[in-house]
């Protein structure tokens, strides 16, 4: 029996600027489950990115930029995931962005036992150790990959084994993504509102200072205006006499 989706029935429309990055491995996965998932996300106006959107021949830096631009990453752990250095490099970048609190990752265990991923067991673990041998001269890279696998796999995620129908899993993922994106949008709305309120408060304070200054200036003008005018007249007279005297002296 599929899971209930009642928790997400009030989720609203998704802002189009948010992007979901999907980290996965395998053509079969792309042509099957992933295709249904991408279609379902697009139907809900969720902007999705998968690596076949990149031009061939580009390096990982371009994919890393897409990850940095995204708000949610879906990492689909499958049996062949650890066959690919490319996928593991993406995963390490995803972990980096999650650590910086600029990205939320949702792990999906697709036809995988969660323990096999979390404890690097079975074919998943064997493939990873084989990859380590292939890159034996890069111990730091291997450490980053392992840290990323262990870190992401411990996040709250979804397992295909809990769903009797693939469609139910797809729908649950879509609703989870929508919920995360709406939570992000709400947080950013609150931050923007706080900034507006702060700016409004500063503006009000400035207006009060200007009004106070003008009031004091008006009071000063009313009380001391005649004296100030007299002093200015006397000073102008003295300056005028000085100019005349200088002119007379220059003629002599």
Q: What is the pLDDT of residues 221-239, one digit of tens each?
A: 666 666 656 655 666 666 6
Q: Between helices 139-153 and 122-134, what is the axis angle to 10°?
A: 160
Tell me which of 54, 69, 90, 193 is the catalytic residue. Answer: 90
CA–CA gap between residue 1 and residue 157 (Å, rounded): 19
Q: How many domains does the chain have?
A: 1
Catalytic (active site) residue 193: no
* Residue 81 counted as domain residue: yes
Chain segment 45-99, per-residue pLDDT in tens: 898 988 764 444 456 788 898 899 999 999 999 999 999 898 999 999 999 999 9
* Residue 45 belongs to some domain of the structure: yes
Beta bridge pairs of residue 108 = 76, 158
CATH code of the domain covering residue 22: 3.40.50.10140
Q: How many CB atoms lie within 10 A of CB 180?
A: 18
For residue 149, being part of any structural domain is answered with yes
The Cα 88–Cα 80 span in angstroms is: 11
Q: Which domain holds residue 42?
A: 6-185
Question: Quick check: is 32 in a domain?
Answer: yes
pLDDT higher at 190 or 153 = 153
Neighbours of 149 (CB within 10 A): 25
Q: How far is Cα 152 from Cα 212, in angstroms, rounded to an integer?
A: 58
Report the chain's mean pLDDT, rounded to a whole number.
80
pLDDT of residue 236: 62
Q: Distance between the two ends of the chain, CA-based, in angstroms?
A: 117
Higher confidence at residue 29 or residue 211?
29
Domain contains 168: yes
Residue 214 covered by a domain: no
In sequence order, what DSSP letters do the residues of 191-241 get, joined into one string? HHHHHHHHHHHHHHHHHHHHHHHHHHHHHHHHHHHHHHHHHHHHHHHHHHH
More confident site: 62 or 206: 62
Please tell me the pTM assigned to this model: 0.70
| Residue 216 counted as domain residue | no
Q: Among 6-10, 33-37, 167-171, where is mean pLDDT lowest?
A: 6-10
Asked if residue 250 belongs to a domain, the reply is: no
Phi first, then psi, for residue 52 (nearest 5°) are -80, 0
pLDDT in tens, 10-21: 444 555 565 899
């Amino acid at each position: 029996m599929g899971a209930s989706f009642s928790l997400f029935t009030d989720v609203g429309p998704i802002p189009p600027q948010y992007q979901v990055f999907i980290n996965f491995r395998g053509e079969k996965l792309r042509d099957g489950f992933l295709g249904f998932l991408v279609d379902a996300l697009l139907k809900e106006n969720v902007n999705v990115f998968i690596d076949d959107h990149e031009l061939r021949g580009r390096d990982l830096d371009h994919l890393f930029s897409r990850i940095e631009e995204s708000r949610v990453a879906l990492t689909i752990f499958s049996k062949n995931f650890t066959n690919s250095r490319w996928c593991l490099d993406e995963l390490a970048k995803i972990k980096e962005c999650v650590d910086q609190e600029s990205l939320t990752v949702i792990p999906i265990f697709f036809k995988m036992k969660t323990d096999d991923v979390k404890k690097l067991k079975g074919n998943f673990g064997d493939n990873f150790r084989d990859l380590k041998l292939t890159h034996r001269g890069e111990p730091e890279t291997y450490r980053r990959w392992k840290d990323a696998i262990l870190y992401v796999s411990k996040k709250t995620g979804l397992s295909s084994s809990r769903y009797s129908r693939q469609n139910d899993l797809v729908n649950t993922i879509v609703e989870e993504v929508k919920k995360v994106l709406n939570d992000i949008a709400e947080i950013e709305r609150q931050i923007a509102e706080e900034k507006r309120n702060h700016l409004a408060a500063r503006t009000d304070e400035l207006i009060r200072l200007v009004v106070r200054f003008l009031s004091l200036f008006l009071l000063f003008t009313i009380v001391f205006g005649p004296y100030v005018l007299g002093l200015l007249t006397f000073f102008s007279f003295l300056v005028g006499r000085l100019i005349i005297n200088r002119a007379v002296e220059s003629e002599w």
